[in-house]
């Protein structure tokens, strides 16, 4: 016997996924949210997204005194469940998207071997920061110990103001993150494994014109020192192998992000060259009918909680309108 199809299934449980769930639930679409499960890849990937690795969030509207990242995600979930969204802690491993989902629903294969069907699917699996993979880096990142993958999110926190901070990376994102930090840090130390940046010239010039920037060429971070909060980096010269210690009070990793789209391989959803879900228009609609995307999985530019939440709202509204047009409400 074939099980009935859900109206909306949401894959992912960050700000985009939970916001989509709130809107879809309030529209009486009985959404089902698949949150995913914790894993290492090589850094921590947790249900709730990147905010689960953020201690104090000061830039999300409505919290004038800040809020802990995990607490904010718990409130998102609580609100979705209040409106009767169904929450299932499981991974979606593979998707079979239909060309006519109003009549032949999409099929989602779960990691436990079961499958569910849905007329509309909202992909909100986010993107994970690329980490160095050092044990102490991961320990301090997950404990709020001054290691972060988002300077715009965390750089203005009191703990980093007036301090010596380090940024690892050499691309445009690293330049942007470091330039932002120069407004707060006493010195921003750029640590790069090569003897030149790969970032655009204009981004390099903008950063290097700041008086409080120091570049450490041909260096890699091999350890992060500090018990409960970062105290220093151990650097290794890529040519000589010589090691040195760099005292810092903050470390920002800026070596890119990886969108969580592996489970979409072979599904027919169009991805960008960087692996993000492609959105042909300003809406959340993908190239497939009844398939929508929201948040960092489709946003390689902003990657903020508030923009992800806004995209989750759009996806839910777009899905509701699409379902109504198909006579499914």
Q: Which positions are catalytic?
A: 150, 153-154
HSE, side-chain direction, 13 A CA sphere, residue 84: 6
Instruction: Tell me how far apart the alpha carbons of residues 250 and 233 are, in angstroms, rounded to a whole number.
Output: 10
Phi first, then psi: what are they for 67, rounded to 5°? -155, 145
Distances (CA, A) of 328 to 7, 95, 105, 245, 324: 8, 21, 12, 62, 5
Angle at 189 between CA 249 and CA 207, to 5 degrees: 130
Strands 44-45 and 39-40, sheet pairing? antiparallel
Of 285, 217, 193, 257, the closest CA to residue 50 belongs to 257
The long-range contacts involving 310-315, CB below 8 angstroms and separated by at least 24 positions, are 310/19, 311/16, 311/284, 312/15, 312/16, 312/17, 312/18, 312/19, 312/20, 312/21, 312/23, 312/122, 312/124, 313/19, 313/20, 313/23, 314/283, 314/284, 315/16, 315/20, 315/122, 315/124, 315/284
- Residue 306: CB atoms within 10 A of its CB come to 14
* Cβ count within 10 A of residue 282: 7
- Residue 137 buriedness (CB in 10 A; 0-12 / 13-18 / 19+): buried
Cis bond before residue 313 (omega within 30° of 0) = no
């Amino acid at each position: 016997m074939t099980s009935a199809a859900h109206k909306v299934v949401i894959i992912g449980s960050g700000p985009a996924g939970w916001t989509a769930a709130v809107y879809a639930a309030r529209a009486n679409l009985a959404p089902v949210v698949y949150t995913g499960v914790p894993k290492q890849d090589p850094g921590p990937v947790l249900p709730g997204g990147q905010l689960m690795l953020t201690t104090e969030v000061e830039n999300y509207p409505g919290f004038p005194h800040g809020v802990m990242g995990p607490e904010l995600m718990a409130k998102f979930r609580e609100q979705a469940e209040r409106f009767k969204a169904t929450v299932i802690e499981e991974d979606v491993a593979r998707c079979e998207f239909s060309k006519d989902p109003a009549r032949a629903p999409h099929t989602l294969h779960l990691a436990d071997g079961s499958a569910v069907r849905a007329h509309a699917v909202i992909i909100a699996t986010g993107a994970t920061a690329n980490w160095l993979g050092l044990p102490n880096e991961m320990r301090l990142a997950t404990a709020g110990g001054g290691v972060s993958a988002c300077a715009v999110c965390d750089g203005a926190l009191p703990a980093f103001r007036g301090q010596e901070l380090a940024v690892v990376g050499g691309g445009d994102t690293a330049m942007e993150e470091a330039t932002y930090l120069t407004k707060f840090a006493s010195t921003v130390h750029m640590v790069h494994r090569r003897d030149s940046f790969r970032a655009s010239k204009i981004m390099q010039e903008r950063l290097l014109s700041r008086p409080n920037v120091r570049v450490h060429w041909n260096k890699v971070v091999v350890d992060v020192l500090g018990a409960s909060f970062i105290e220093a980096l151990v650097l290794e010269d890529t040519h000589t192998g010589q090691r040195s210690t760099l005292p810092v009070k903050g470390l920002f990793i800026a070596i890119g992000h990886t969108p969580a789209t592996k489970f979409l391989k072979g599904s027919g959803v169009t991805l960008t060259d960087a692996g993000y879900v492609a959105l042909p228009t300003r809406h959340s609609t993908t190239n497939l009918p009844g398939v929508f995307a929201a948040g960092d999985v489709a946003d390689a530019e902003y990657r903020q909680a508030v923009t992800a939440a806004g995209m989750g709202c759009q996806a839910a509204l777009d899905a509701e309108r699409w379902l109504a047009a198909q006579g499914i409400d």
